Each structure stands twice: as C-alpha cells, then as structure tokens.
A and B are shown apart, each in its own frame.
Chain A
Amino acid sequence: MENGTGVGAGHEVVDHTSELTLRVRAPGFPALLSEATRAFGELVPAGIRRGSSDQAREFDVAGVDRAAVLVEWLNEMVYLCEVDQWLPVEIESAEERGGGVRVRATGISLLRPFVGVKAATLHGARVADVPHGLSAEVTLDL
C-alpha cells in the first residue's frame, strides 16, 4: 500500500514472507518520523481505536545514528500500543539533540492492547539522503 501527506512525504508498507518493511520518505528527519508514525498506525486495526486524540506526550528517543533512532521510535510505539494502549498518531515536534531526538506526539487510546508487531528490527535499517530529503527503510517482525 502507498500513502502520504504533505509535499515530498510518503510511505509504503511492503509485505514479505514473514515480516513487513516500512519504506518512508520525507523532506527532513522530523517529517520522516511523522511519516513513519502514520505508516505504523495503519497496522493498528480501526476497530480497536477509541477515536479522539488526547494530550500530547514527550519521549526521549536515543540512537547512535538516524536509523537507530527511527527503529527506537518504532519500538517505543510497539511498547505504547501493547502496554499503555495508546497509539501516537501525530508528531507535534521532533527536536534532534546529541545522540537522539525529543519527540512530542499526540495520540489516541486503544480499546485493547495491540500486539500485532513484535518489534522493529535493525535488519537492513537505513536512513539515506536523497534529492529533496530523506528516505528510510525499517523491517518489522510480526
């Protein structure tokens, strides 16, 4: 499937034998995190979303490079969906700091835990410079 919002941003979810790969592109790294957030959100069934967006939350996401930060953020989402029953849907800000990013996100409550994704992996994870922005790829274990 292919989707996107904003000029130059978009994503696709590619189905492999036993996992999914998220392919994301965006003008900059904060926008890339936003797009990856939307791509992950598509995996959460509509039937378990409560619907309304609630108060923003802040997260410090660490990683030795941008690929590791992206994987770490997606793993944060795995945890939030499974334990807090909270799905981040929109990133209000993503401020790059030394060794990571401070993310401020709004989200929605889930009716029950979402455990459809075991983890985001570092297998083939990459964030690369492309004309007019960045492209990234992350594989999710299901």
Chain B
Amino acid sequence: MTELLSARGEVAATRVQETLYEISADARGDMRVPARIYADAELWDQIAGDRSLEQLMNVATLPGVTRAVYAMPDAHEGYGFPVGGVAAFRTADGIISPGGVGYDINCGVRLLLTDLDARDLGKRLEPLVHELSRSIPSGTGRGGKLQLSDDELDSVFVEGGAYLVERGMATAEDLLHTESGACLPGADPRRVSKRARDRGRSQLGSMGAGNHFVEVERVADLFDPDAAQALGLDAHRVAVLIHTGSRGLGHQVCTDYVAKMDRAMTEAGITLPDRQLACAPFASPAGQAYFGAMCAAANYAWCNRQVITHRVREVCARVLSPEVEVRLVYDVAHNIAKVEEHGGTRVCVHRKGATRAFGPSHPETPEAYRAVGQPVFIPGSMGTGSYVLVGRDEALELSFGSACHGAGRRMSRGQARRTRPGSEVRRELTERGIVVRCPSMKELAEEAPHAYKDVDHVVDVVHRAGLARKVARLAPMGVVKG
C-alpha cells in the first residue's frame, strides 16, 4: 500500500488496490466515514488536482452518513458535493441535500435500439439527423411543443411515465425498461414552486443546452457477447442515445431548496465547509419537502426523455420506414437521491454525476435483464464513442451499486473555443462521416472531443474496479447537440 498526497498537498490517501484509493476517516477530525476513490494512477492525478477530494471529505462530515463516501473515476470538482460522488445517509437520523443531487435533477441517459443495420442506412442518415434536429427542440431558449397546464404538470409529477402512456407517447414496455418504472412514488406537487412550474411548463420534450444531446449510433464493438445478446445489441445495429434532464424545472427546484436550507442553517448558527452543502434531516418537514419536490422533478425528467423518444419514433417512421422498430433498451438517471436498503438499513443514496448499477440479483433490475444486470450507459464526448455496461452484484458493497456517468470535461468552454474553432471541429467530424447539427459554431467548439477526458480510460477503470461490466461500444454516426 502506498501513501500519497493530493496535488494540492493537503490530503493523504492510501492506494489500497490497483483501482482504489482511500482517505481514512481520521484524516480530518470532522469526518465520520472514510472517502474511497475509484481511479488508476493517471485518473487519481486528475481527481487530486482540483478540490474534488476536499469536497468528498466535506460530504463525509454530514450527519447520518454511512459506510463510506465514494468518488467515481470521472469525478471532478462540483458545488458542495463533487460531480461523480456517491454518499448514503440513514433515513432515520441522516440528511438530504439538494447540492448532493445537483441542479439538473434526474439528468440521465436512455438508449433506443432500432432493427436497422447501419450499413443499410446510406444516404438516409443525413435526413434522419436533420429531422431529429427539427423535431426535438434544443439549444438555448427553445422549448418543447407541449404547453402544460398546472393540472397536467401535476399528472407528470405524480404519475411520471404512466401519464404519457395515457397520452399515447409511451408504451407499457417503455416503463418496464426505465429506472424505477419512470416514477418515484414520493413526488409531492405542492412542494414545487410556481417559479419551477413556470420554467418547466413549455420545456417537456426538449433537450436544453450544454452537453445534452441526441445521437444516432452504431454498435461498433462487443466485449461481452452474451450480455450484448440479452440487451439485443448486435454489431452494426443502429441505436439512438438521448442525454438530458429536468430542464429549468429541476434547476429551479434545486435553487429554491438550497436557498431555504441555507437560510435555515444560517439562522440556526450552523456553519458548513461549503454553503452549497446546505441540507436538512431527511425525516424533517424541510427534508421531506425537498424530497417531494425532487421526486416530482425526477418524474418530469423521465417524461422529458420519453417525449423525446416519441419524437424519435415519429421521425424514424417518417424518414426511414413506418415499420421500423425503435425499442427502449433502458433509461438510467445520474443526478438523483433515492431511498434504498443497503445492509439492512434504509438510506437515502445521493448519486451526483453517478449512475445506478444494480447487478443481476437485485429486485429492481428489470426482469428482461435478470441474467446479466441492469444496463448502464456512459456517454463519451461528441464524436468519440459511448459505452454500454451492465451492473454487478458486487457493486452494492463497493459503491452502493453505482458507476460513473461520463467522461467529464477537462477543458473550460472558453479554453475549448480557443483551442479549436467550431468550423474546424465540424470539418473533422464530417470527414469521419459524422453528421452534425448544432445551434452554433461556438457551441460546437465548446463541446468538441478534445474538451473531454478519455472515456475509454474511464470505462476501463470502472470495469477493472468491478463496478460494472463492459458490454459494447457505440460509435456516433449523427449528433444533434443541445
């Protein structure tokens, strides 16, 4: 075992395994549990180079925290909690923290699989991507085609995906292939402010800006043929990957409750290492109010990705063939707090920039995937590749059943723009046969592949650490950016 210091010099960690580092609970007087970081030497250097470790140690001080706090291989500095952080707090005497979920509540990824072979797509790729960009609002300022009344919003909050089955935009099978059946039962519409409703009213079925996307993919590499078969992934199959969340509604829920909890803590004279860690006891009225609003926002996010799925199906029928099959493989959240049982204790697991990764034996793994484990999706940057993995039973002990959520940025947006102009990025992608639709050259430059970490490396560490098992790599054919 090797004792290491972080790049900032103030954190001592021990490398306990090839892909696991640990900061002991006595490293700082206020820590209640150890901090564990899944990384190899190279990723450790990246994680230790910013304030991620300090933030993880801060999380380890919060009341009711249990076993250990974890950083995934793609972890980086966030607000309060690090992005790529996982922590569980006992529901009986622990806290819930809006900063532990993040602003984009239930940001997540879903994978759709068609029955088409990528080699047969030919000249239909360009119109397919073009029509997707026209049908799915993206970029700054464009809302969805739906304008929801308060009653309709309440139905989205309470029923989640089931509401869209009633409206003909989802199937019963879609719900079976979505985490939690596309509905968290704890939603309480009364806890969602008018401001949050105003921001979400016209955004259902829209992608938003930043790193959100809809991509047309082909199944490029298979690492685990048996698991791939269970998921229906054949080589060359055309797939669609969707990455978005709860839009302005979720952002406002987080804003509202961080402010409320910060006010309550300041008035009570409680000082935290970072005000964005503001929290309340899970069982308290304040904690339950946030939980009710967060569940409503999470259900909105599942509906958002489902409405986009409906649009993808419409476009595929129009551009490709009315008979084309577009099946939902799975939908999984990566910014969420959920009540789960671990080691016989009820805990509220915060996954901020981390994906749930339950193994074959877990009762919440969909029946269709009981032989292999719950699907996990780890998108790379625009133009590189994305990965399909499956959860492992061992991950329950290793990380409360969690894996990473992406490659993670390594450059600021400004630096990315200065490094390579959008026109050059577009030319490079086009030369590789990738069709791109993006609101502007500026956004294209900001989301260029060189602005992100190497997803192959991150996924490799996830696989070697035993958090999830690599199944397939997807290669992009068309990109619609938010």
Contact = CB atoms under 8 A, between A and B. Distances in A.
Interface of A: 15-19, 45, 48, 63-65, 68, 71-72, 75, 78-79, 82-83, 112-116, 118-125, 139, 141-142
B257 to A, nearest CB: 12
B263 A142 contact: no
Contacts of B50: 17
Interface in B45-99: 50, 76-80, 83, 99
Contact of B140 (A114, A119, A124): A114
Contacts of A114: 140-141
Nearest to B247: A115
Given A17-B76, A18-B409, A79-B195, A123 B275 contact: yes
Contacts of B259: 63, 68, 71-72, 75, 122
B414 interface: yes
Given A112-B142, A121-B276, A122-B275, 5 more contacts: A19-B79, A79-B198, A112-B141, A122-B79, A122-B278
Interface of B: 50, 76-80, 83, 99, 103-104, 140-143, 195, 198-199, 208-210, 247-248, 251-252, 254-255, 258-259, 262-263, 266-267, 274-276, 278, 409-415
B103 A15 contact: no
Given A17-B76, A17-B77, A122-B278, A79 B415 contact: no
7 contacts: A15-B415, A45-B140, A64-B262, A121-B79, A122-B79, A122-B262, A123-B80
Contact of A123 (B141, B142, B276, B409): B276
A136 to B, nearest CB: 14
A141 B103 contact: yes
B140 A116 contact: yes
B258 A122 contact: yes
Contacts of A48: 141
B207 to A, nearest CB: 11
A119 B103 contact: yes
A83 B263 contact: no
B412 A64 contact: no
A78 B99 CA distance: 18
Contact of B210 (A71, A112, A122, A142): A142
B255 A113 contact: no
Contacts of A121: 79, 258, 276
Nearest to B104: A118
| Complex A-B, nearest 7 residue pairs according to Cβ-Cβ distance, in ascending order | A123-B79, A15-B414, A122-B275, A123-B276, A112-B141, A15-B412, A118-B251
Nearest to A141: B103
Residue among B79, B103, B274, B278 having the largest count of chain A Cβ atoms under 10 Å: B79
Nearest to A45: B140
A114 B143 CA distance: 11
A17 B409 contact: yes
B199 A82 contact: yes
A19 B276 CA distance: 15
B472 to A, nearest CB: 28
B413 A15 contact: yes
B410 A17 contact: yes
Given A68-B262, A72-B259, A113 B143 contact: yes
B219 to A, nearest CB: 30
B463 to A, nearest CB: 25
B255 A119 contact: yes
Nearest to A75: B255
